[in-house]
Amino acid sequence: MFRGRSLQVAQLLLTVAPAFITYGYNQAGVAPLASLQSWVSVFPEIDTINTEGAIKERNSTRKGAVIAALQMGALLGALSCAYFGDRLGRRKTIFMAALITIIGELLQVSSYGIIQFTLGRVIVGIGIGQLSATVPVWQAECSSAKHRGQHVVVDGICMVLGFVITNWVDYGFSKTTGEIQWRIPLALSFLFPLTVAASIFLLPESPRWLVMVNRINDAAQTLAEYRGLPVDDEAVQTEIASIESSLELTAQSESVTLRTLFVGDDDERLLYRFALCLAIQFFQQMCGGNLISTYISTIFEENLGLGSELSRILGASALTWKFICNFIPFFAIDRLGRRKVFIVSGAGMCLCMTVLAITTSFENASRGLSIVSVAFIWLFNMFYPIGFSGANFLYCTEVAPMRLRVAMSSVSTANKWLWNFVVVMITPVALDTIGWRYYIVYAVISACIPVTVYLFYPETMGRNLEALNNVFRDAPSVWHIVSMAKRLPEGDVPDLVVEGDEKMTVEMKEHA
């Protein structure tokens, strides 16, 4: 039905975009609704509007737990892909995730009790966790080395688009009356997973997964469709042979289990590669991005002293700006490389969090300081997506060996959701107790990003996934991996040979 460029566009519009809009829409959509009178009349157990003192504190904790239930479900969902991803295949796992999300959303929108709503939120989280762990793997395995960065970075654009849509939808329906203020915004979320479920089997399976399950002819046919070439083209056949060779080398390692990731393998350097994935997903959450996206209206209203109406508008506008800035990595990721975007992003976020700590440290801050704070929040929303609205998902799929790609992506994404949960739960308490010092935590963590990336993260831009596996395997030590990756030429089917500690020769076959 689709081939070449049209197939890549169809993959984006029919599956990738709605999957990650689902992610953003559901993650950010409930917090603004929880301040509506029509909401608290149905869920009085988490009413923080009409309560005071100890009751308000208790309800506030409950509200945080209900909102964060999605993150715990997502953690479980992402971990489950370590089992389902290679057994069912990429498409079936994505289809299952979409169905689970729809079931959870149905429970949410039809809720008249807090238990049902919380259960629905956990189930939605399971589905979203599976989508966030599987879709980037499927994309990376289907993309050419030249365009892989742009294809996967689109995930971050669509995720933030979900944030934008849900904030403006919530704001618009807040002007209505009755339960439609929150039931309609929740009901609109059905559109996106339904699109995923209806379209996923119109698109081909991952050619690398097909090779892994020994369906070589199907893999060649699928790869030809994605590349827009005849199945007997030399480029297609050479890339399939490269995938088979890499799989044979990886298969010599111990069987794929979670223990494999944590114990590692000296030949494959699995623990080192797994640590890269865990660290980059940790940075994605603990640099302050989730703090700003989830609690931006609270920061404007309670910390900066702006009015409720102005805070909602500024919050939605800032997320719209963040969405626009997501196009920066789309154009930069395959030009500047992964390392540069991570380093620039981390340094910029460190600067912004440092300024926020300073400007919010003054009691009864002047209007001028509030304006500076708002400006640097907007600046933060420019730096954050440069490195951490999609490049983090991409990098985890690139450094993992094929047989362990889903397992590494699943566990590292679950790690991301764990820290997401931590931020959502502790931020309200931290802002009330330690105030401006809370921003120092994120400034320090952001400052660690450029240093860590420079020392330990090899460049993966334009590199063949199988050739990268050779770099990790053949480097004499972990301190040589970054330098060896720099000397690896770009292309879909390189054959890498390493001789000695320093000498590296590469034979490269160029294909149109």
pLDDT band, residue 249 (cuts 50/70/90): low
The residues facing 374 across adjacent strands are none
Same domain, 385 and 471: no
Percent of the chain with pLDDT over 70: 89
Residue 408 one-letter amino acid: M
Q: Which residue has the tokens 């989830």?
A: 294
**Is residue 195 situated within a structural domain?**
yes
Cα 510 to Cα 143: distance, rounded to the nearest angstrom:
17
Same domain, 295 and 146: yes
Cα 313 to Cα 297: distance, rounded to the nearest angstrom:
8
Residue 20 one-letter amino acid: F
Say how many domains are in the chain.
2
Q: Which residue has the tokens 């369906």?
A: 215
Q: Which comes out higher in pLDDT, residue 143 or 201?
A: 201
Same domain, 495 and 351: no
Cα 150 to Cα 164: distance, rounded to the nearest angstrom:
21
* CB-based contacts of 500, cutoff 8 Å, min separation 6: 476
Same domain, 95 and 37: yes
Same domain, 148 and 50: yes
The residues facing 495 across adjacent strands are 507
Q: What is the CA radius of gyration of the chain?
A: 23
Helix ranges (DSSP H) in 287-390: 289-298, 308-325, 327-332, 338-359, 367-388
**Is residue 370 situated within a structural domain?**
yes
Same domain, 384 and 472: no
8 A C-beta contact, residue 289 and residue 388: yes
Tokens encoding 348: 């910029």
- The yes-or-no verdict on residue 348 having pLDDT over 90 is yes
Among the ranges given (32-41, 221-230, 352-361), the one the predictor scored with the smallest mean pLDDT: 32-41
Same domain, 387 and 478: no
Cα 394 to Cα 486: distance, rounded to the nearest angstrom:
18
Same domain, 386 and 369: yes
**Is residue 405 situated within a structural domain?**
yes
DSSP state of 305: -
Could you give the C-alpha distances from 175 to 50, 182, 342, in angstroms and in order?
A: 20, 11, 40
SS3 state of residue 89: coil
Neighbours of 336 (CB within 10 A): 16
Q: Which of the listed ranges 50-54, 180-184, 254-258 does the model predict with the highest average pLDDT? A: 180-184
Same domain, 95 and 150: yes
Cα 505 to Cα 495: distance, rounded to the nearest angstrom:
9
Q: What is the pTM of this model?
A: 0.80
The 10s digit of each residue's pLDDT in 144-201 is 777 777 777 788 889 889 988 988 898 888 888 889 999 999 999 999 999 999 999 9
Nearest to 181 by CA among 301, 34, 21, 334: 34
- Average pLDDT score over residue span 345-353: 95
The 10s digit of each residue's pLDDT in 94-105 is 999 999 999 999
Same domain, 501 and 440: no
The CATH number linked to 301 is 1.20.1250.20
Helix ranges (DSSP H) in 228-288: 234-251, 258-263, 270-286
Same domain, 373 and 442: yes
8 A C-beta contact, residue 100 and residue 94: no
The 10s digit of each residue's pLDDT in 269-290 is 888 898 999 999 999 989 988 7
Cα 106 to Cα 23: distance, rounded to the nearest angstrom:
16
Nearest to 294 by CA among 101, 45, 24: 24
Nearest to 29 by CA among 135, 173, 198, 127: 173
Same domain, 400 and 291: yes
**Is residue 217 situated within a structural domain?**
no
**Is residue 173 situated within a structural domain?**
yes
Tokens encoding 435: 């105030």
Q: Which residue has the tokens 């429970």?
A: 107
**Is residue 336 situated within a structural domain?**
yes
The domain in which residue 495 lies consists of: 465-507
Helix or strand holding residue 36 (H, E): none
Cα 246 to Cα 401: distance, rounded to the nearest angstrom:
8
